[in-house]
Structure formats: C-alpha cells, structure tokens
Amino acid sequence: MSVGEMLVATVPMARTLDLEFLETTPERAVVRLPDQAAYHNHVGGPHAGAMFTLAESASGAIVIAAFGDQLQRAVPLAVKAEIGYKKLAMGVVTATATLGRPVADVVAELDAGQRPEFPVEISIQREDGAVTGEMTVVWTLRPHS
C-alpha cells in the first residue's frame, strides 16, 4: 500500500475531500484537491478549511514517507501550523510539501533520546501555477513511552 493509499484509508478527512496523492517521497509530496462544489466558499473557490486540510495532508504524507521506518518507536504529531492565503483559489488546487530538515538530522535527535521538531513547507497552487497559499507545519516525532 502506498503512503497516499494508506492515508486515504486511515484519515477520514482525506477521504471526505477526495484528496488525490500524486507523489509521495521523503523529499516531496504532492496532493490535489479536486474542484467540488460541496467544498466551495462564498466566492466559488475551495473553502479555506479545505485548503488547510489539503496542505496539512501533504505535510503528513511527506512525514510518513520520510519517517515511516521510525513508527515502531515514535509517533509523528503536528505541533503547530501557520497558513497564509495569497491569491484567490479557483478550481483544482495542488499542495506541494517539502521537508525543512534532513531526515538523518531528525533521526539522530530521536536516537539521542530527544523529541525532534522539524518544519514542513507547503505551497498551494492553482492549475495555472499561481501560488494561492503557503503553509508551514511543525511536526515532532514523539517517542513511545
């Protein structure tokens, strides 16, 4: 099962919004939100909450891809998120996430008994390439007790 398939199977919001996981690697995750009238805002584009969920889902996908081999000893948790809406989003939007720290550095902190934190940067774009939003999610790997 791919990371995208696993997230759709286990995360109800990913299923609810019909998110499409196009690419999921430890370096980059790309997730698309189809244009769906049920999730439009008052101006006919995707609702801010749907775009937040899209971006957060892309960040979760890259975290699972990068740190899936650590799940036996730690659980990934979002610590905080900040989003900026830049331009009007209309139609299909795509979120592209990139990891803000090297995987090896994060794992080294976990090996040292620490609870590492690391940012994931996400760009949200319309089909014409215009960036409609930017988000940062700070994640941690919380060791199992």
Write out pLDDT tens, residues 14-68: 999 999 999 999 999 999 999 999 999 999 999 999 999 999 999 999 999 999 9
**pTM for the full predicted model:** 0.95
Q: Are 22 and 103 in contact (CB under 8 A)?
A: no
Write out pLDDT tens, residues 64-109: 999 999 999 999 999 999 999 999 999 999 999 999 999 999 999 9
Sheet holding 29-33, edge to edge: 20-24, 29-33, 93-99, 117-126, 131-143, 74-85
Which of 52, 54, 64 lies closest to 32, judged by CA?
54
pLDDT reported for residue 145: 77
Q: What share of the chain is helix, strand, coil (3-state, %, to 5)?
A: 35, 35, 30
The residue whose two tokens read 């830049």 is 86
